[in-house]
Chain A
Amino acid sequence: DTGVSQDPRHKITKRGQNVTFRCDPISEHNRLYWYRQTLGQGPEFLTYFQNEAQLEKSRLLSDRFSAERPKGSFSTLEIQRTEQGDSAMYLCASSPRRTGGYEQYFGPGTRLTVT
């Protein structure tokens, strides 16, 4: 299996701009997760998809954030009108159907810097 991939690896943007990140899970993994990790902290759950359905969203996911997984394969996370507080590492993970979520494989992350 190729691992979870994320693109871009690094993104620098100016405050107020929109950004979009992509996550490609491991093939045939039906569950996909997004986490955010700020400096010096552990990852925090943002949202979760089972196939194309978004089943849970954290209260951390303000209305400026939107995530999609249109065909149940790759996922995108968009942040509109970025703020400096959005600067963080955004991690994606996927999980195979048989494990029900307890076996999550993480991608390398997208590091966002908002200037």
Chain B
Amino acid sequence: AQKVTQAQTEISVVEKEDVTLDCVYETRDTTYYLFWYKQPPSGELVFLIRRNSFDEQNEISGRYSWNFQKSTSSFNFTITASQVVDSAVYFCALLPRAGGTSYGKLTFGQGTILTVHP
């Protein structure tokens, strides 16, 4: 069984602050993908990043960075110098790489509501 936990229900910061969103996952699969999605008020899920379980290198994309630690089953997301436009719900998700009919079945966390105040 797969499980993704985002313990932070809501986070509120002031613009230009750095903020880290936590994600912890559980899986019995040895190979899997991890994702972060952003859901703005419009409702559409926007893909941010995908990481392969073989690749534990951290990644930086502009103001966004991701810290993947397999030893602690965590995949945390940091926004540096937050902006009002970053306000959204952020979801962490897990996808097993195993073949078969379950391939493609994403398991999402509960989401973290991020509010960035001007």
Contacts and interface: CB of A to CB of B under 8 A. Distances in A.
A85 interface: no
Most A Cβ at <10 Å: residue of B33, B93, B108, B109? B108
13 contacts: A41-B111, A42-B91, A42-B93, A42-B110, A43-B108, A48-B101, A102-B33, A102-B50, A102-B95, A102-B104, A104-B104, A106-B37, A106-B47
B111 A111 contact: no
Contacts, number: 62
Interface of A: 31, 33, 35, 40-45, 48, 55-56, 89, 91, 93, 95, 100-109, 111
Interface residues of B, number: 24
Given A40-B110, A42-B109, A42-B110, A100 B103 contact: yes
Contacts of B20: none
Contacts of B91: 42-43
B28 interface: no
A55 B95 contact: no
Given A42-B91, A55-B101, A56-B102, A106 B44 contact: yes
A44 to B, nearest CB: 7
B104 A48 contact: yes
B42 interface: yes
Nearest to A31: B104
Interface in B64-118: 91, 93, 95, 97, 101-111
Contacts of B93: 42
B53 to A, nearest CB: 11
B82 to A, nearest CB: 22
A44 B43 contact: no
B45 interface: yes
A43 B106 contact: yes
